[in-house]
């Protein structure tokens, strides 16, 4: 059976790189010795390659005696056709390398909740100092479209709380204690601190379905460290809505320490959880957008927030 789909954008008429290099260099030098020298090969190689090319084209590309080498009409035509195309290809590759490996151009970084802005700004300052040629734009994104912003490339980097499912993550830049948010009149409201085990005894307000499973497992686990099941409370659609459910006494919610500072309200009490690991925040980005710019910014952020 005559296998289908063999026809391609890339017809099999393409010349090898060494053939193009040899042909165009010889077309420019018109001298086998100098051509060989420039390409760091022997004159024998030049002779072989040109001969093979000519056998393929079906006509001489160079008229050569042992004293003078010149292009034939067909050779001249081919050289004229090829030169701008080759220039264009090297330019295209150069641009791609610049985009991937260069630390220039533009980098868009975003924060998610204003309390992370200072950490991000320290990183921006150090990065800009190290790479003055790369313009950094800072913006704020909303939780709802943070993932989409990274995926569609409208934002290169984001400082967010871990875990951030499906994205590449840098080292943690911020660590905060975990607290339990309870209603003001809740039985635990007066405790000095609580253990994670209390989650088995009260319903826990749930994140909306769109939230990644990994994130939910970290914030609202299904079992306590001892293995006791955690009763699921009602679902809130936004973080404010979740806090309101807590205030209404419909459940409790583990949160980070910074939440207290930015969401302090009289109807909610925050009680430290003494045996929970801290919540980490750091830079996240799309794996597929990884560039030298991004790697360098992560490094700068790490250095700037090392203390």
Partner DNA sequence: ACGATCGTTGCGCCAGATTCAACGATCCGA
Partner DNA sequence: TCGGATCGTTGAATCTGGCGCAACGATCGT
Residues that bind DNA (CB under 7 A): 16, 18, 31-33, 40-51, 64-67, 69
Q: Does 10 bind its own copies (CB under 8 A)?
A: yes
- The least distance separating DNA from the CB of residue 261, rounded to whole angstroms, comes to 36
Does the protein bind its own copies through residue 33 (CB under 8 A)? no
Choose between 86 and 117: whose C-beta lies nearer to its own copies: 86
Site string for its own copies, 156-195 (x = CB under 8 A): ----------------------------------------
Is 78 a binder of its own copies (CB under 8 A)?
Answer: yes
The entry of DNA, its own copies, none that residue 258 binds, CB within 5 to 8 Å by partner kind: none
Contact call for residue 5 and its own copies (CB under 8 A) = yes
Q: What HEC string does the chain produce?
A: CCCCCCCCCCCCCCCCHHHHHHHHHHHHHCCHHHHHHHCCCCHHHHHHHHHHHHHHHCCCCEEECCCCEEECHHHHHHHHHHHHHHHHHHHHHHHHHHHHHCCCEEEEEEECCHHHHHHHHHHHHHHHHHCCCEEEEEEECCHHHHHHHHHCCCCCEEEEECCCCCCEEEEEEEEECEEEEEECCCCCCCCCCECHHHHHCCCEEECCCCCCHHHHHHHCCCECCCCCECCEEEECCCHHHHHHHHHCCCCEEEEEHHHHHHCCCCCEEEEEECCCCCEEEEEEECHHHCCHHHHHHHHHHHHHCCC
51 touches, from DNA, its own copies, none (C-beta below 5 to 8 Å by class): DNA
CB 196 within 8 A of CB 252: no
Judged by CB, which is closer to DNA: 46, or 242?
46
* Residue of 1, 2, 6, 192 that binds its own copies (CB under 8 A): 6
Peptide bond between residue 163 and the one before it cis (omega within 30 degrees of 0): yes
- Determine which residue in the list 33, 44, 51, 88 makes contact with its own copies, applying CB under 8 A: 88
Binding part of the chain for its own copies, among 10-18, 126-134, 137-145, 243-251 by CB under 8 A, reads: 10-18
Question: Per-residue contact track with its own copies, 271 to 300, x per CB under 8 A?
Answer: ---------------xxxxxxx--------
Binding site for its own copies (CB under 8 A): 3, 5-6, 8-11, 13-17, 20-21, 24-25, 28, 34, 37-38, 56-60, 62-63, 72-74, 77-78, 81-83, 85-97, 99-101, 153, 286-292
């Amino acid at each position: 059976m005559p296998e289908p789909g063999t026809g391609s954008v890339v017809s099999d008429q393409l010349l090898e790189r060494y053939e193009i290099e040899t042909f165009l260099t010889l077309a420019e030098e018109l001298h086998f010795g100098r051509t060989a020298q420039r390409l760091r090969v022997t004159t024998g190689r030049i002779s072989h390659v040109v001969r093979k090319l000519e056998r393929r084209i079906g006509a001489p590309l160079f008229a050569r005696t042992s004293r003078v080498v010149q292009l034939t009409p067909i050779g001249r035509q081919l050289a004229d056709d090829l030169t701008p195309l080759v220039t264009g290809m090297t330019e295209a590759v150069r641009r791609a390398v610049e985009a991937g490996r260069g630390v220039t151009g533009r980098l868009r970084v975003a924060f998610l909740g204003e309390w992370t802005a200072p950490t991000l700004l320290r990183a921006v300052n150090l990065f800009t100092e190290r790479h003055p040629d790369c313009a950094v734009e800072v913006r704020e994104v909303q939780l709802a479209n943070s993932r989409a912003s990274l995926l569609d490339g409208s934002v290169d980097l984001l400082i967010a709380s871990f875990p951030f499912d499906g994205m590449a993550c840098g080292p943690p830049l911020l660590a905060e204690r975990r607290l339990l948010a309870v209603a003001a009149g809740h039985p635990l409201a007066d405790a000095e601190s609580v253990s994670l085990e209390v989650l088995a005894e009260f319903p826990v307000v749930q994140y909306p379905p769109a939230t990644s499973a990994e994130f939910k497992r970290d914030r609202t686990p299904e079992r306590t460290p001892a293995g006791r099941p955690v009763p699921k409370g009602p679902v809130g659609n936004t973080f404010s809505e979740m806090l309101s459910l807590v205030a209404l006494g419909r459940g409790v919610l583990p949160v980070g320490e910074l939440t207290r500072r930015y969401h302090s309200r009289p109807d909610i009490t925050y009680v430290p959880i003494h045996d929970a690991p801290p919540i980490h925040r750091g830079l996240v980005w799309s794996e597929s957008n990884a560039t030298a710019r991004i790697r360098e910014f992560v490094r700068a952020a790490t250095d700037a927030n090392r203390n």
